[in-house]
Structure 1
Amino acid sequence: MNRLKVNQSNESPIILQFQNLQPNTQYFYIFEFYDIENITPEYLKTVYNKEKDYEFTTEFEQPMFSFKTFGLIGQPYTFNFSASGCARTASISTIFLDIYQNTYPQFFFMLGDLHYRDINTDSVDEFDFAYKQVFGSTTQRYLYQQVPIEYQFDDHDFGKNDADGNSPTRNTANLLYWKYVPHGNLHNYRPLFQDEELPQFPQEVKNIEEINEENIGSYRYQIIGRTIIITVDLRTFQNLEVLGDQFGNFSNARSILGKQQREWLITILDKVAITDWIQAVIFISSVNFHGETWDMFPHEQLLIADKLQNIQEVLEKQVLIVSSDSHMTAMKNGYNSYIQHLGLKYKYGLQETMCGSLDKSGSCKTQPLTFGPWLGKNHYTNIEIQDSQLRTCIIIRAFEKSSQLFFYNTCDDRLKSLEGKVKCPFDVLMRVVYVIASLLVSFGFLIIIYLIVKKCHKNSMRYSLVMREK
């Protein structure tokens, strides 16, 4: 057993870096407390949530935790992760327990809106307190102690509702993300070929004064086996860049990605296209790729769709878009996946699963859908990449608490060929109301025309009688 001594004199998170770990291996660890006052069994219960199914198996009467390393890069490797988004501030919902106990993921991906503080100032203390509220929740802490966490902020945990790059919280949100959130190399251009030289990547900063346009932003990618997970930052750079003539004569169109992130993303997608051993692409978008936010930035939306479609249709790799923000659980199989621009509809056939919400009220923001939508809270999705020498498939299972909502397999041509005309319930209701109103209006016009004709006919009869009398 190896021991690592840590001295902590302030409230900053403790960062431990382990080296020389073996791939695809389960590791176990415990915490020992020394020279700390007021450490009692009751206190340890609050720290570890001892009553939440932990097994105390060591002589120190401390809970044992574990994590599992991933398989070798470039080799077939099957793994799964769960994903969702949109949690009330300091939520103590039991959905966080359900995620772990029902799916046992290798990691959990928080897709945005970790909290709803809607901070609108550059206060480090407010963001600091927001993170402490999240990790102070007994149920959330339970999940994050069991499995690694991946996280990408969206609007409510970046700033106020619909916050973009002009938000006064821009620098502070990124600074506190670096402080509290475990993550890999941000902006990484880590090569996809072993014989390439590893270029420099921006070093993280610890003071807000050190933030600049070279190091800001949380976009990154990670390779697990033969799967690449690409995560974009849709808040830090949104609405800052005017595209000008880069996408034709649209000088007033703005960017959601920003120049630096867009160039990075194009580079990564182009490398994926020429790297034979990459068999699956998971594209993480904190908002629906076929939804209202991306629709405001069609130039970059179409650019990404072109790249992903080439990878999926021409190169025959598996591609899945994973998103949240819409407060609904649903699936688009690509049959009716369109992008609209300048009155034209472009069909790309991209598959997208919409995850959530954890414990926020439901809504519906994209359509038509193949499965769903299931509105409301207590929703999450488990994504399994089944990778073997024969083929690679992505399995999607969506849940409400412990009940499965739908199942989808990207290798099942029957599921991919479903027409998928399911509409949002509100849209269906409004369409029914519209049809009824149209019928009533039409019927009303018919009645008016009938009355006018009747009156005209009656006047005509009177005129005929008068003429006869004369």
Structure 2
Amino acid sequence: MSPLQPVATDPTAQAPTLSLLASWIVVLSLLLGWLAVARPAPLAAQPTGVSWAWSGAITEGSAVVVARLARGVSEARLVIAPDGTDAEVDALTVPARGYASPDAHGLVRFEATRLSPATRYRYRVETREGQHLEGRLRTWAAGPFSFRIAFASCATTGSNHRVFDAIRALTPDLFVHMGDFHYLNIGRNDAEAFRRGYDRVLDSSRQSALYRAVPIAYMYDDHDFGPNNSDGTSASRPAATAVYRDHVPHYPLQAGADTIQQAFDIGRARIIVTDTRSSREPVDAPRPRTMLGEAQRRWLEDELTRAKDAALVIWVNTVPWITKGNESTHEGWAPYAEERERLATLIDTLGLTRRLVMLSGDGHMAALDDGTNSAYMAGRGPDSRGFVVIHGAPLDRWPRTKGGPYSHGVSRRDHQFGLLDVADTGTALEVTASARDAYGQLVPGLELRLRCDQTGCATR
């Protein structure tokens, strides 16, 4: 047939072509739908004056906000007021008069004091020209106080997945980020590379919205401290710790320490956050090895001793504690068994085993153990019970199981996080630990309810 001849228009002849076209349209629609979830959504335009801001170090009467100003912006201030009040009348400004200048990297750190306990605040980081970013936070209270903590780890660098919206929608009072904030695997002492890492994450529209709506307590793990499985020998260590101190709204750190561990109270609960990377010895170092370093281990032992009368102790330990499934692995605490036993024995001696809940990440999974498998104290028997351990991960990373076994099992899927609800009745703490999916819904089977008082925590 000549190229100039008309093509037949018989509908029957056209049917296969149209059917094939329809099939491709369906496939393309499904592919585009998948990409909308799997790939970061386009970033929302940032104000020209303030690139990002987040809050943390919350107490009964204070908070810290750290912001990064755009290049060329020379001054900014923090305006903070109780939510629902007249900002012009009730607002506090930091500094009290005038504006603050950023450091050489555009960072400005605001310490807001004279806040009221158990109060929801809205804040605004603004430039002289009126450009601004807004956020929210809630202060704690001494004594009986109910609160919600979301916790998670492991997100692809700059992820903009909807899981961050799901966390924000549950309105937690604190988001505990347990590491792998990014996956840049920086293996050199390059502070600027770490600064770029923070910018890439905080420029994500969904993550930025979460961190402005919910105060953060953040502890790095291997991929955001150094290379995969990095330890205290990593060349990245000086840059990682220095940039953390500047960029993160953290609680007070130990003077002169190389590690960034911290502890604080929320109501009648004591939260202890340990740094499992900065002073960790290599897994092939002579035994006994240390995960925490001698100085941090002494600090942790002191913190546990001071917390022995707390109604609830929450230990944020970024890596798997339970490794009974394969003790020969190099994952988690297995290579540091002697130090693990020492700490478990102290916890048991202090009477804290039944009043301690451990939050963990690192493994790309959600998992829950009620104490059946977490006992590592000296003299333990086959029926010895440890404390509750719950893993919340990954935020946006492929699934992978680590450690175990876990009494309530493992959810090996992407886009997960943990939730810890603490309702203080004045005589007891009603605690609910659970794992949640990308929509904030309960992961079936991964929920545990406890009632905690001075005698310990019992399953409800």
TM-score (norm 2): 0.71
2:138 is aligned with 1:68: yes
- 1:373 maps to amino acid: V
2:299 is aligned with 1:264: yes
Q: How far off its partner does 1:417 sit?
A: 7.7
Larger radius of gyration: 1
Matched-pair contact (CA < 8 Å) for 1:318–1:393: no
Matched-pair contact (CA < 8 Å) for 2:364–2:393: yes
2:119 is aligned with 1:25: yes
Matched-pair contact (CA < 8 Å) for 1:280–1:317: no
Matched with 2:157 is 89
Matched with 1:2 is 92
For 2:292 and 2:128, how far apart are their aligned partners in 1?
47
Matched with 2:319 is 287
Which structure dedicates a bigger proportion of its chain to helix? 1
- 1:323 maps to amino acid: S
Q: Over residues 182-239 of structure 1, what are the superposed CA-to-partner deviations in whole Å (9 max), with x where a residue is unaligned?
A: 111113xxxxxxxxxxxxxx1xxxxxxxxxxx33111111111111111111101111
- 1:307 maps to amino acid: L
2:433 is aligned with 1:365: no
4+ residue runs of structure 1 moved beyond 6 angstroms?
A: 240-243, 340-346, 415-418
Q: How does 1:207-286 map to 2 (within 5 A)?
A: 214-239=256-281, 252-273=287-308, 276=309, 278-286=310-318
With over 3 angstroms needed to count, the CA separation of the structure-2 counterparts of 1:14 and 1:306, relative to structure 1, is same
How many residue pairs get matched? 352
Matched with 2:357 is 320
Matched with 1:142 is 209
Matched with 2:61 is none
Deviates more, 1:297-306 or 1:2-11: 2-11
For 1:118 and 1:131, how far apart are their aligned partners in 2?
13
Q: How far off its partner does 1:316 sit?
A: 7.7
Q: Please give the secondary structure, in 2, of the residue aligned with 1:30.
A: strand
Matched with 1:383 is 420
For 2:277 and 2:386, how far apart are their aligned partners in 1?
26
- 1:68 maps to amino acid: R
2:329 is aligned with 1:297: no
2:451 is aligned with 1:411: yes
For 2:269 and 2:261, how far apart are their aligned partners in 1?
17
With over 3 angstroms needed to count, the CA separation of the structure-2 counterparts of 1:316 and 1:232, relative to structure 1, is closer
Q: How far off its partner does 1:320 sit?
A: 0.3
- 2:261 maps to amino acid: Y
2:255 is aligned with 1:162: no
With over 3 angstroms needed to count, the CA separation of the structure-2 counterparts of 1:32 and 1:339, relative to structure 1, is closer
For 2:378 and 2:280, how far apart are their aligned partners in 1?
19
Match of 2:241 among 161, 166, 174: 174
For 1:252 and 1:309, how far apart are their aligned partners in 2?
24
Matched with 1:437 is none
Structure 2, unaligned runs of 5 or more: 1-90, 324-330
With over 3 angstroms needed to count, the CA separation of the structure-2 counterparts of 1:316 and 1:233, relative to structure 1, is closer
- 1:71 maps to amino acid: A
Deviates more, 1:381-390 or 1:81-90: 381-390
Matched with 1:457 is none
Matched-pair contact (CA < 8 Å) for 1:333–1:351: yes
Matched-pair contact (CA < 8 Å) for 1:165–1:235: yes
Match of 2:367 among 316, 325, 330: 330
For 1:138 and 1:226, how far apart are their aligned partners in 2?
34
Matched-pair contact (CA < 8 Å) for 1:79–1:384: yes
Q: Over residues 230-275 of structure 1, what are the superposed CA-to-partner deviations in whole Å (9 max), with x where a residue is unaligned?
A: 11111011117999xxxxxxx74221111111111111112222xx
Q: Over residues 299-356 of structure 1, what are the superposed CA-to-partner deviations in whole Å (9 max), with x where a residue is unaligned?
A: 1101111222344xx4686210100011000100112334499999794422100111
With over 3 angstroms needed to count, the CA separation of the structure-2 counterparts of 1:269 and 1:12, relative to structure 1, is same
Matched-pair contact (CA < 8 Å) for 1:109–1:150: yes
With over 3 angstroms needed to count, the CA separation of the structure-2 counterparts of 1:282 and 1:149, relative to structure 1, is same
For 1:346 and 1:298, how far apart are their aligned partners in 2?
19
With over 3 angstroms needed to count, the CA separation of the structure-2 counterparts of 1:263 and 1:156, relative to structure 1, is same
Q: Please give the secondary structure, in 2, of the residue aligned with 1:363.
A: coil
For 1:119 and 1:155, how far apart are their aligned partners in 2?
10
- 1:174 maps to amino acid: T
Q: Please give the secondary structure, in 1, of the residue aligned with 2:240.
A: helix
Match of 1:186 among 249, 253, 262: 253
- 1:26 maps to amino acid: R
Identity of aligned residues (%): 26
Q: Please give the secondary structure, in 2, of the residue aligned with 1:131.
A: helix
With over 3 angstroms needed to count, the CA separation of the structure-2 counterparts of 1:235 and 1:268, relative to structure 1, is same
Q: Please give the secondary structure, in 1, of the residue aligned with 2:345.
A: helix
Matched with 1:57 is none
Structure 1, unaligned runs of 5 or more: 49-63, 188-201, 203-213, 244-250, 419-470
Q: Over residues 403-449 of structure 1, what are the superposed CA-to-partner deviations in whole Å (9 max), with x where a residue is unaligned?
A: 2113211239xx9789xxxxxxxxxxxxxxxxxxxxxxxxxxxxxxx
Matched-pair contact (CA < 8 Å) for 1:281–1:317: no
The alignment yields a C-alpha RMSD, in angstroms, of 2.8
For 2:312 and 2:411, how far apart are their aligned partners in 1?
27
